[in-house]
């Protein structure tokens, strides 16, 4: 039986890869321009990094992780996100001894056991950027300005920046209790998951897609009305710096973000082109994460962009596929050898050229060249070679010209 890929795991094929490479290249350019450095972290980590970092009572840890016991009896997990691993690396290598402020980014696959559908997969890619070591709201605005700049540079429009404040260790527990109180006589309206969430993590109910849960929570108290004065001040400054950075935003009091580690600033960038999976980027501040995983008190803020959803939004009129420059149609054995010699020289000069290895008829070779959308075909026949000539055909204009074999290479390089 033919072996297929696992459900929710995708191949990204050559006709799509140009978009991915463009997005990654733009991310590197923009982020490095903002002073960020790349970090590469393992795909596997100890399970407790995520259960402690992300939080036991989150969707990710409760039901989405790919966890297994390895041959040594250790519980390992395929990373469901990158922030916890980046924080671990920062602590493990004591990057703070070099400079307390670290601006890092990372691009790679994440794994979550979710129900696959458009824009939601079990292996998906994220572009992640994080700043460790700064509590100042200036940096909250700085990463958001960077994010929006990046999204604009890849050509994405119809985006909306939504922000909220989730409070901190001091004020959030009070809000949690308020929310619990508010929902306690509506619990019959909640789905099974949310009845449990009401006890373990009531803020998670905001993220539930079940309609009756959304109705139950419609007129709930807002976290923003319960945050302490320190958090309020921080949030006001974030807004001020966003405006100073030329950005507009929408306050979304219902956005709570799915991970426990978020404190204060939370943000999402949504697009109105994607249907229900409309979040392309989620991010926020997490001033408790480091303590959860290592004991040090280090603030952090960052975001994760979902690559699949971003690629879906790229402008349709842009050409991302790299086509060949030249096809060499060789006719006869001697011509094929000459074509092979030429092909190597062209490749060494960075010209994307292709030949037909089978010695097929001219008609069949031209058909292949057509399909490959090459702009030029070089026709090499035994007769032409013996006269020291080759024919170059412009596939668009259909015009042909003879060029001397002597300076064929330079001639081609000039043309292409």
* Ordered alpha helix ranges (H), 218-355: 229-244, 289-294, 307-313, 333-348
The binder of ligand ATP chosen from 277, 345, 354, 416 (CB under 6 A): 277
Binding to ligand ATP by residue 245, rule CB under 6 A? no
User: How many Å apart are CA 320 and CA 26, to the nearest integer?
Assistant: 13
Give me 369's structure tokens: 């060249």
User: How many Å apart are CA 347 and CA 345, to the nearest integer?
Assistant: 5
Binding to ligand ATP by residue 279, rule CB under 6 A? yes
Binding to ligand ATP by residue 267, rule CB under 6 A? no
CB 388 within 8 A of CB 404: yes
Query: Angle at CA 270, nearest 5°, toward 269 and 275?
Result: 160
CB 44 within 8 A of CB 76: yes
Give me 126's structure tokens: 């994220």
CB 374 within 8 A of CB 348: no
Task: Give the CB-nearest residue to ligand ATP.
Answer: 306
Calculate the CA dihedral of residues 54, 58, 59, 61 and round it to 10 degrees: 50
Q: Which is nearer to ligand ATP, 95 or 110 (CB)?
A: 110
Q: Which is nearer to ligand ATP, 19 or 112 (CB)?
A: 112
Binding to ligand ATP by residue 124, rule CB under 6 A? yes
Stretch binding ligand ATP (CB under 6 A), from 49-57, 116-124, 139-147, 191-199: 116-124
Q: Shortest CA distance to 107 belongs to which of 121, 124, 122, 94?
A: 124
Binding to ligand ATP by residue 258, rule CB under 6 A? yes
The binder of ligand ATP chosen from 30, 39, 81, 261 (CB under 6 A): 81
The binder of ligand ATP chosen from 280, 328, 335, 351 (CB under 6 A): 280
Q: Which is nearer to ligand ATP, 162 or 281 (CB)?
A: 281
Binding to ligand ATP by residue 55, rule CB under 6 A? no
Q: What minimum distance in Å lies between the beta carbon of 10 and ligand ATP?
A: 10
The binder of ligand ATP chosen from 179, 304, 346, 379 (CB under 6 A): 304
Angle, helices 192-200 vs 172-184, to 10°: value is 140
Q: Which is nearer to ligand ATP, 239 or 309 (CB)?
A: 309
Q: What minimum distance in Å lies between the beta carbon of 121 and ligand ATP?
A: 4
Q: Specify the DSSP element, H or E, that contains 98.
A: helix 95-98
Question: Which residues contact ligand ATP (rule: CB under 6 A)?
Answer: 81, 112, 114, 119-121, 124, 126, 258, 277, 279-282, 304, 306, 308-309
């Amino acid at each position: 039986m033919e072996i297929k890929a696992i459900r929710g795991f995708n191949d990204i094929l050559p006709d799509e890869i140009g978009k991915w490479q463009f997005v990654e290249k733009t991310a590197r350019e923009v982020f490095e321009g903002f002073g960020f450095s790349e970090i590469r972290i393992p795909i596997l980590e100890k399970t407790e990094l995520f259960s402690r970092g992300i939080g036991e009572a989150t969707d990710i840890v409760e039901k989405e992780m790919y966890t297994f016991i390895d041959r040594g009896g250790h519980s390992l997990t395929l990373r469901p996100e990158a922030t916890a691993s980046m924080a671990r690396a920062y602590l493990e290598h004591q990057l703070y001894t070099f400079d307390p402020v670290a601006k890092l980014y990372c691009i790679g696959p994440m794994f979550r056991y979710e129900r696959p559908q458009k824009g939601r997969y079990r292996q998906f890619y994220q572009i992640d950027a994080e700043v460790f070591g700064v509590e100042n709201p200036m940096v909250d605005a700085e990463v958001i300005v960077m994010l929006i700049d990046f999204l604009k540079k890849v050509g994405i429009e119809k985006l909306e920046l939504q922000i909220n404040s989730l409070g901190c260790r001091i004020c959030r527990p009070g809000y949690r209790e308020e929310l619990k109180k508010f929902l306690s006589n509506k619990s019959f309206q909640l789905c099974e998951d949310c009845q449990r969430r009401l006890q373990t993590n009531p803020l998670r109910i905001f993220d539930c897609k079940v309609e009756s849960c959304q109705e139950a929570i419609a007129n709930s108290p807002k976290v923003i009305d319960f945050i302490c004065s320190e958090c309020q001040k921080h949030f006001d400054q974030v807004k001020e710096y966003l405006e100073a950075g030329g950005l507009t935003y929408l306050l979304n009091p219902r956005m709570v973000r799915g991970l426990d580690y978020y404190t204060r600033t939370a943000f999402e960038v949504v697009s109105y082109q994607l249907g229900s999976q409309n979040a392309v980027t989620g991010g926020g501040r997490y001033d408790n994460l480091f303590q959860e995983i290592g004991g040090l008190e280090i603030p952090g803020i960052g975001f994760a962009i979902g690559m699949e959803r971003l690629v879906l939004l790229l402008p349709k009129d842009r050409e991302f596929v790299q086509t060949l420059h030249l096809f060499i149609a060789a006719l006869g054995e001697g011509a094929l050898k000459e074509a092979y010699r030429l092909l190597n020289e062209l490749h060494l000069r960075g010209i994307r050229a292709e030949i037909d290895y089978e010695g097929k008829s001219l008609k069949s070779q031209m058909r292949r060249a057509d399909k490959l959308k090459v702009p030029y075909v070089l026709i090499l026949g035994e007769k032409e070679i013996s006269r020291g000539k080759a024919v170059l055909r412009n596939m668009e204009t259909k015009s042909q010209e003879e060029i001397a074999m002597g300076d064929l290479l330079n001639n081609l390089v000039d043309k292409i």
